[in-house]
Copies of this chain bind each other. A is one copy, B any other.
Amino acid sequence: MNSSDSRYRECLYFSANVLARKIEKLAGATWKKVDLSPSHAYLLMIVLDEPGVQPGTLSDELQLTPSTITRLIEKLEEKNFVVRTVTGKITNLYPTPKAKKLLPELKKCVHQFQEEYIKILGKEESTRLVNNIHKLANKLP
């Protein structure tokens, strides 16, 4: 019995986790070029696309908890990619010039990552998979 034929192959818990870990790794390698994790990079791209966006919105869009969003922002702030303005209870995020300069590079990474998994999984199949996963994830509580 090898790893691809474990007794747990039929368990959603494991297959979903294995897939996520492998994809995390693949994505991580891609974004290494800009020295950002995929999560940081995606968050930054939203801020670039939507200057002034609030953490709460990011939390909804990325489906990460507010506390995780805070942590991601902290790091992007340290690296001087975003600035935070606080007005009452509202926080707004803006990209710095440094971030704006990085945008083309970020887009290239997105593209490269997609190319990469399409190369491995096939265009058709990966599109179908993403749709399925997305649909099912939305059914879950």
Instruction: List residues of A whose CB falls within 8 A of some B CB.
Output: 1-4, 6-24, 26-27, 38, 42, 46, 49, 60-63, 110, 113-114, 117, 120-121, 125-126, 129-130, 132-134, 136-141
Q: Which of B2, B17, B130, B138 contacts A11 (CB 8 A)?
A: B130
Q: Which of B7, B46, B62 contacts A61 (CB 8 A)?
A: B7
A16-B23, A126-B12 known; A120+B134 contact, CB < 8 A? no
Report whether B125 and A22 are in contact in the complex, using a CB–CB cutoff of 8 Å: no
Report whether B130 and A10 are in contact in the complex, using a CB–CB cutoff of 8 Å: yes
Q: List 26 A-B contacts (CB under 8 A).
A: A2-B60, A3-B63, A4-B138, A6-B62, A8-B62, A9-B134, A11-B42, A11-B110, A12-B126, A12-B129, A12-B130, A14-B42, A14-B62, A15-B134, A15-B137, A16-B19, A17-B23, A18-B137, A19-B133, A21-B63, A26-B140, A120-B139, A120-B140, A121-B136, A129-B132, A129-B133
